[in-house]
Amino acid sequence: FRDIAVALSVSVLISLLVAVTLIPALANRILGSPGEDSIVRRRVPVVDDFAALFMRSITGLTHWVTQSRLRSVAVVAVLCTVCTSVTWLLLPKLEYLPSGNRNLIIGFIVPPPGYNLDTMEQIARGYEKEVYPLLSEVSGPEPDAQGRPKLNRFFFVTFRGRTIMGAAAHDPSRVKDLIPILSEAAFKEPGTLGQITQRSLFGRGVTGTRAIDLNILGPDLEPLMQTALKAYLKVAGEFPRKEGNQVRPQPELVLGAPELRIRPDRVKLADNGVTARQLSDTIDAFNDGLRIAEITVGNKLIDLMIKGPLDQVTETQGISTLPVVTSAGLIIPASSLAQIEMTTGPTQINHFERQRAVTLSILPRDDVPLEEALDIIRAKIIDPMYAEGMPPGVSLRLTGTADKLAQTWEAMKLDLGIAVIIVYLVMAVLFESFLYPLIIMLSVPLATAGGVVGLSLLNQFTFQPLDMLTLLGFVILIGIVVNNAILLVHQTLVHIREDGMLPAEAIREATTNRIRPIFMSTLTSVFGMMPLVVFPGAGSELYRGLGSVVLGGLSLSAVLTLAIIPPLLTLVIGAGERHRRAAGGSGAAREDRREAAE
């Protein structure tokens, strides 16, 4: 967010310099000599009519509330209650970061375990056969008869046990429409798992900024895999693939890789004078070979290996007949010294914080915010599994984007708090009072309600979660919406201290004087921000939420500030000014005498 903060700060500072230097000079040059005759008035029908109605409404409300402290209390209580309720009811769930609209789709496809490389290549060729007719250079750039977009390019890479596939759309605006096309081709193979996602502008992972990792941790492999399979079935039930959700286990949830286990019989080894290390070295020598040293031949280092005859073992069952030499010089088969069994094992074993782990990478559909998905996982998957009982040592932990969202949200709450404190202290110094800045800061919750309303209205037309960029709009509002309240409070104090008006009269006069600049500045800000929200374009999906928050906050706070500041001033300004005079003491008296003499 540093770039946005720097741009806003520098632009505000430059606008201050322009306002006190260039604007007065141009005004003197263009407007000419002062006087009513030099002013040319032009009427803007719609704006002027709305402004006149707005002014009559606000001045009427101000005159009504300043006549009674009870009315002022009622207006403040109603506005605060309504704004708090609106914020609570309409505030959407949190999201981490927007994905953007990058023209690249990446898929990780995991077939059932045990497939060899040739089979994997045949499956990948099937993907290519499905997708090839949709390439733009094959069938043209126009969508096909079913309305499916064309691909600009497509690739796949096959490994043992997985395939990576990717594509880019000929029309970048329809890149997301490629996901169901590639998914249909990829998941035709029974038992195939995986994820096909659009690459995000933020984050370096394949799954972008929306993947939630549910880690199943434990010391023993078999109970770990059983728990992971149970968790996967629950996740698949809460996030079904047919609705656009994707779940990818890492590694596979079944022990499908063929595995030959040799369990040494320690009694038989002792009877024959053979150690377990000697038995394993012998079997290694007859299989892949046993490395015993590294020798130098010329200027090259070469491994010195001991190998048995290449045709000694041609079948898996031949392991049991491998010859082993005992300490007495006898040759006996390996089956006489160990139990040899054919079984299955994992294709890989992952670790997380030094524990064996199976990770379920959950990618909820686009219209489900991450906070809502996390709540579902905790309430309907993690908590029920703990309630049903977990194997000894097995635990569940959320990581990935869940951790990033929690860390960023904590940082944003701190930033919001610091922003409020700094703005309050700056105004306290300028007003030489802790009371009046407190009144001004009450306009911030009103702006929050406006920002939430603006975001809710945007969600009526397109899905826009409360991601961290959108949340930045609330930080920006803190420094903007207080300006209107500052104008009202400052002008009221000027009327009381310099013009000698009574508090109620000063409040009404200040409101009448400041409606026009407040109306003008709000209107220009709203229309200046509106293209970011209304008009689509490259990058609009990133800052559309931020724009709607600022737009809604400015619009509603302009009205509510004019409605809530006058009654607040009615309640406190009399006591505040009496306290100021009492604190001023003789210094204030001398100042009054000097002004009278002048």
Name 382's Cβ contacts closer than 8 Å, sequence gap at least 6: 214, 396, 398
Cα–Cα distances in Å, from 286 out to 259, 279, 509? 17, 11, 101
116-133 pLDDT, tens digit each: 777 777 877 887 888 888
Mean pLDDT of the chain: 83
Alpha carbon distance 572, 498 (integer Å): 19
- Whether the pLDDT of residue 203 is over 70: the answer is no
423-438 pLDDT, tens digit each: 899 988 888 888 888 8
Instruction: Give residue 453's identity as a one-letter amino acid code.
Output: V
Alpha carbon distance 590, 557 (integer Å): 41
485-541 pLDDT, tens digit each: 898 998 988 888 888 888 889 899 999 888 888 888 888 888 888 888 887 666 677
Q: What is the pLDDT of residue 593?
A: 45
pTM equals: 0.73
Q: What is the pLDDT of residue 18?
A: 94
At residue 173 the predicted structure's pLDDT band, cuts being 50, 70 and 90, is confident
Name 488's Cβ contacts closer than 8 Å, sequence gap at least 6: 510, 511, 514, 518, 561, 562, 565, 566, 569
Q: Is the dihedral of CA 165, 171, 175, 179 positive or negative?
A: negative
Cis peptide before 251 (omega within 30 of 0): yes
- Whether the pLDDT of residue 349 is over 90: the answer is no
Long-range CB pairs of 500-506 (<8 Å, 24+ gap) are 503/569, 503/570, 503/573, 503/574, 503/577, 504/66, 504/67, 504/570, 506/573
Q: Please compute the mean of the pLDDT values over residues 267-275 and round it to a whole number.
A: 89
Burial class (CB in 10 A: 0-12, 13-18, 19+), 358: buried
Question: How many percent of the chain have pLDDT more than 90?
Answer: 8
